Amino acid sequence: MKIVALSTLFTATSLFGAAGPAPISNPTETASVTVVVSSLASTQSTVKLYFYNNPSGFLKDKQYTFMRAVKPGGQREVSLPVELTEGDWAVAITQDINNNDKLDKNFIGIPTEPFAFSNNVRATLAPPAFDECKFTVKGDGKVVNIVLK
């Protein structure tokens, strides 16, 4: 039953759309945030970080606020400084092990490539909610640590 539910999760919900970022609407105050992703599966394969600040669009196809792709450069950890508007944010991450520019899945729709979410939330029978993954940005210097599994 778990496999069927996870299959539904990853086939019915496209976690990471391929289109460009949606514009940020009327940004007010911004703050410097550093996202650190550790335990990378590959030291060469691209890591993609999808940033969300709208709970209703979280993990929906092409609904992220913006996306960044980072090459690990031989390291097992990447550090990405970004400027975010103050408020609540969540991050979804994938590592494209075979560099085919998509999240590969098995025959029942479960991802076969590493992925993770802010607050190190693990997907079980359903996708995580924005509130589980969110972190609050207020002022410079915030560091968000995420372990890729």
Question: 100-132: per-residue pLDDT in tens?
Answer: 988 898 888 788 999 999 999 998 777 899 999
Return the structure tokens found at 94: 């994938």
Query: 59 lies in which domain range?
Result: 2-15+29-147
* CATH code for the domain in which residue 44 is found: 2.60.40
Report pLDDT for 13: 41
Q: CB under 8 Å to 126, separation ≥6 — which residues?
A: 5, 9
Q: Note the residue count of the chain.
A: 149
- Please state whether 76 falls in left (phi above 0), alpha (psi between -120 and 50) or beta: alpha
Residue 22 lies in a domain: no
Task: Report how far residue 132's alpha carbon sits from residue 149's, in angstroms, rounded to the nearest whole number.
Answer: 17
Residue 66 lies in a domain: yes
Residue 24 lies in a domain: no
Residue 125 lies in a domain: yes
**Helix, strand or coil, per DSSP, at residue 12:** helix
Residue 23 lies in a domain: no
> Kind of pairing, strands 135-137 and 87-95?
antiparallel
Count of structural domains within the chain:
1
What's the average model confidence in pLDDT over 59-69? Answer: 94
Closest CA to 76 of 99, 42, 115: 42
